[in-house]
Structure 1
Amino acid sequence: MSQGHVVVVTGASAGVGRAVVREFARRGARVGLVARDAERLREAAREVEALGGEALVLPCDVSDSQAVEAAAEATERRWGALDVWVNCAMVTVFAPVMETQPDEFRRVMEVTFLGYVHGTQAALRRMRPRDRGTVVQVGSALAFRGIPLQAAYCSAKHAIVGFTESLRSELLHDKSRVHLTVVDLPGMNTPQFDWSRSRMPRQAQPVPPIFQPEVAARAVVWAARHRRRSIRVGMPTVETILGNRLAPWLLDRYLARVGYARQMTRAPRRQRADNLFSPVPGDPGAHGRFDSRARRHSFQTWANLHRGWLAGLAAVGVALAFSSPWPPRSAGRPRA
């Protein structure tokens, strides 16, 4: 991402979205910051400017299509043509299906799915007439494999996959050069597990192994610069998707046995405000409370992003191997 590119990030005030904002700022981008909490957005804006970018604070609930449209309009009015739109806003509920209320399912779908629809449409209204631009959908391994206690979130992420596939075919039909890409994530160390609504008996945690949000942010910014259909972040994401393709019945039983325990710590759940319908106060930034357990790097992701270079290196190695005589000739005369 070069200096001065115009970017909008939804879910920009915390978690992966906040890390993505910082990563764009390091490259000198102009970043429109979309989230509900204005104070956290102002903190994020200060970070952007300290890192060398420019920021525009756009308080907005992505479930409101008109508000999202207004945010896109304000961004272009300030800086000109939009280059990249990143959909990252989400809410969730940790609870069994029969303990999740209809309004909770509805709210998760309005933000975590329809928020992506609203953001994508707002971006395309501007990108398609110019025949350029990139929309990045921040997805999840849970878009391909549902797990217990997160039915609402998994449903929303599955819906994003269907929406994105339909749209990609439409863009190809229209011969549009607007690029649509998806970055699928594993369990991330974000504040989500402290302020999401939960009915679990113990505190929520990401399914291990856990990764720092900067791992995701680097992949998102890379995706905004390269025309890759999708990027899978972390080996657990790859394993989950492949495992569900090969033996979904086995994953059904495995998750029935371990899926509950792996989403909870040993600490009892604390009663506190959640962010399902309104933001909670405070600014935790990008990280949650799992810094001591979270991985800062993913070799699988690095290899994925550099697969062209690695393939070229492998080809050179093969060529050298076949060009060398085998077995090697002995030096000097053979002994009598």
Structure 2
Amino acid sequence: MSNLHQNPSTTDWFGRKSSKIEYWHQATIFVNDLKLDINESPFKVGILGYAGEEGVRRNWGRLGTASATKSIRNMMGSLAFHLPESTKVFDYGDVITAGGDMETSHDLLSKFVQEMLETHHFPVLLGGGHDLALAHGRGIFNYIKPKGEKLGIINCDAHFDLRPLKDGKGHSGSPFYQLAVENEKDFNYLCLGIQQASNPKSLFDAAEQLNSSWITMEDFRSNNWEIIKERIQRFLNSVNKVYLSIDLDSFSSAFAPGVSAPSPLGFSPDIAFKVFELIASSKKLISLDIVEMNPKFDQDNASARLAARIIEFILRKIF
């Protein structure tokens, strides 16, 4: 076991007791030492936390995201379990960052994501700073490129996260810029919920240069659903597989107060869940992360509950 890894804790998952598997805390299998399940199974979910916030610190964000993984698991445990009976859900614990060395923890994350995909898991990563997307995306690209398939990245976010490096180092605002530089012509990026007040013109210019497309918050509304649906469907049709990254700061702070960069003008769960269902029903989604949850600023676990519900909903629509 790496010293950057913490084994899962059964105490993070709790809920109602039942004589049969009816809740997530009952369905979850706890795996120590990053020992991947390699058995053949049609439905496997691999949950991995990223208890790191060095990228947030480098990006001048509000600290506290490192404890998000526990909060999300706490809220997931009591949810009713509706996946097929043959589904296996594995909790592989958390990757941590030691001494500000974010890059080494990223290497471990990328390796494990690739191995999860190779062993037929559907990865669900919990964060943690959005720098997680760099490590997550690298693992997916390493898996998908030898197959000759085209990957599409959909990011639900108030920010492009296409900022340049700072002093040669990545951070929570740069993961998709780094993925774009590393993958050049293979970078296909759609960002949903972009807020103009949170992204200077230079980032819109960067997005245009890096084969990116987006829908601004002003247009990302339920009464505009048919246009939104057509834009997302066109993107889905243009790729073979999809990686979905969900930054909780894309939601209005009325729904997700516990995030690193809150905004009162984010979108509502109504439109977001319609988007999630559309993406999941495409059968192209192969990996998911949910990031920037910050328990330090949460209220009645509202943000953690939302994160848990998003994960449960998407998985139910996939399987």
Normalising by the smaller structure, the TM-score range is 0.3 to 0.5
Q: By percentage of residues, which structure has more helix?
A: 1
TM-score of the pair, normalised by structure 2: 0.36
TM-score of the pair, normalised by structure 1: 0.34
Larger Rg: 1
